[in-house]
Structure 1
Amino acid sequence: MSHSKHSSLSHDRHPLNFQDTYICPICRHGHIESLTLMDVFACDFCRHIFTANLKDQSIHVENSSQPMTWRWTGRNWQAANQLDVDLTVVIWLVSVSLVILPPSLIWLSSHAFPPLVGSSGSWFPAFWVGLTFTLHFLFVSWLMAEHYQFPLYVSTKVRLRRLLDRR
């Protein structure tokens, strides 16, 4: 490990600069360091690119659809972008309704028009409700992980991509 990595990863407070290396604020596994002849940082694990504002001690991710910014506290990163509360509420309401509404409609129709007792297909409505709930839950979970860029999700996605690239 070089001297610059030691200074950035220690517990001493120091300002953000292009000579040091820092833990990536997105994946929290890789390290970001400046790219040669550029005033940007890049992560060696998740490959995200960040522009830096040294005056404000902040970085902004450039290669993501989500506008994410972090401020350097001298020891670690702190999220700087305040999420729009109205948008967050809407995202959560849509997510919950996408998970609950379709299985509820299937359950309601299976109770309004139940299969004949003892028929060979009497198990199918319960199976269909469970399958619908599971698939909608997985779909919404994936969308939420993409939206919020959870560190565990990002690092798992990077590891899978690397594993598939080796084949």
Structure 2
Amino acid sequence: MKPEKISLDEYYPCPRCKRGQLKAIVLTEAFGCDRCNQIFGLSEENFTLEQLSTSYPYKKAWQWTGSMWRDDSRGIDSTYLPAAILVVLLPLLLLWLPASMSLPRGPGMVLWSLMTGFLLVIPALMFWFTLRQRR
């Protein structure tokens, strides 16, 4: 869905508490929620709503699609999670794979192969669940 321009003349549901209603604050380009008292500002030619009163280092942002808010935040997981998985996984694999190949064939080789497979699958599943949770 394409984002729609946010108008200061309309009322919108609060993207944070989902129960309140956003109302324009007089003489500003900002909205306030009548339930949770959060303050939101407009940015990017009135297509994005940002939460202003927060101590969180990454600003929460939303875009209006005409019927609901779409999360447009750039959080820590969207930039650092793939890098963190790579930093942890790559050294393990660089040490683990040569060790598993040097073992003689037999039950030990099967065990090392299974362990290597788990080292690949578990971070991949963690990454997939994290991305799935954001949607």
Q: TM-score, normalised by structure 1?
A: 0.41
From 47, 50, 57, give the equivalent of 2:40.
50
In structure 1, list runs of 5 or more residues that go unmatched: 1-12, 91-167
Is the 2:5–2:46 Cα contact (8 Å) retained in structure 1? no
In structure 2, list runs of 5 or more residues that go unmatched: 85-135
Q: How many residues were matched structurally?
A: 78
User: What's the offset of the Cα at 1:82?
Assistant: 2.9
- Indicate the RMSD between aligned Cα atoms, in angstroms: 2.6
User: What's the offset of the Cα at 1:83?
Assistant: 2.1
Structure 2 residue 6 is the aligned partner of structure 1 residue 16: yes
Q: Which has the higher contact order (CA 8 A, sep 6+)?
A: 1
From 10, 15, 36, give the equivalent of 1:25.
15
User: What's the offset of the Cα at 1:56?
Assistant: 5.0
What code does the residue aligned with 2:24 have? S
CA shift digits 1:21-41 (9 cap, x unpaired): 000000001000101111110
State how far apart, in whole Å, the 1-side matches of 2:83 and 2:26 are. Answer: 42
From 55, 59, 64, give the equivalent of 1:72.
64
Quick one: percent identity of the two aligned structures? 24
Is the 1:30–1:46 Cα contact (8 Å) retained in structure 2? yes
- Consecutive aligned runs of 4 or more in structure 1 exceeding 3 Å deviation: 87-90
